[in-house]
Amino acid sequence: MFEQQQLNYDRIAEAIEYIKNNFKEQPNLDALAAQVHLSPFHFQRLFTEWAGTTPKKFLQYISIEHAKKLLLQQQATLADTAFETGLSGTSRLHDLFINIEGMTPAEYKNGGKNLQINFSYAESPFGNLIVASTSKGICYMAFEDDETKALNALKQHFSNAYFQQKLDLIQQHALFIFQNDWSKLGDIKLHLKGTDFQLKVWETLLKIPMGQLSTYGHIASKIGHAKASRAVGTAIGSNPVAYLIPCHRVIQSSGNIGGYMWGNTRKTAIIGWEAAKTALREAN
């Protein structure tokens, strides 16, 4: 048993190293599987189990990190960046950034300059909040009673963007969740920017069902970094979208409520509110 686990670990370690060294060739699943002498199906399952993500996604993470360095540090053109990353053209570079970063390569390069952000203030069962959106989805939501402080905090996240106070349809669909209208959940889109690690943590938070709780350690295990509870906590604390990305559903393994960017009392209230709503829905 131990020998098989060691063999599996060695294979995945070899595959990861191969991807890091050869990402410019954009190897497909068959090529990666052949490198460690496994069938594509077996390799896909084994890699996902050990690395916490698929081989394709890992290749994308490695590729986009290289592309980001070229765009920011070397001020490379989009065409040169696509070529140096092993992509067939700027359209594939565009798709990669949209899928992973939630923004175009040009938007990433200029720090959000010319990015149009609509924002509005709203009430919720847990206090006043500010919600902001781009054409792609909700990019920011935070509990804050002081509107000036709320807007200043939003602008710190997107220092070069253009802001307009406007309640749009994207925001309305998101705010319906506080009115017990769950029919619009499928219409809620998010537009996030963050590190690969942060995005993986936030994506995992979205999978915690309403009315249920998880722990920092469990989240760390789910993303393939079982010993990174502290780093997970930091990523959760950087969550830019209150409530919709349910960081309030993560508590300490001891059962303590743990910290919350918008206050532990509010976190306790949200957990209780969700538990009551879930029980009512199940009873009906």
DSSP count for the chain of H helices, then E strands: 13, 6
CB 240 within 8 A of CB 157: yes
191: its two tokens: 């537009």
d(CA 166, CA 226): 42
In b/e form, how buried is each residue of 183-207, taking b as 16+ CB within 10 angstroms?
eeeeebebbbbbebbbbbbbebbee
Helix axis angle, 55-72 to 90-100, nearest 10° = 110
Q: Find all residues with CB under 8 Å of 207, minimum gap 6, and list them.
A: none
Tokens 């009551």 -> residue: 276
Strands 162-165 and 138-143: unpaired
* Active-site residue, from 130, 201, 208, 247: 247
139 has catalytic annotation: no
56: its two tokens: 């394709």
Q: Find all residues with CB under 8 Å of 265, minimum gap 6, and list them.
A: none
d(CA 252, CA 15): 34
Q: How many CB atoms lie within 10 A of CB 27?
A: 19
Active site residues: 247
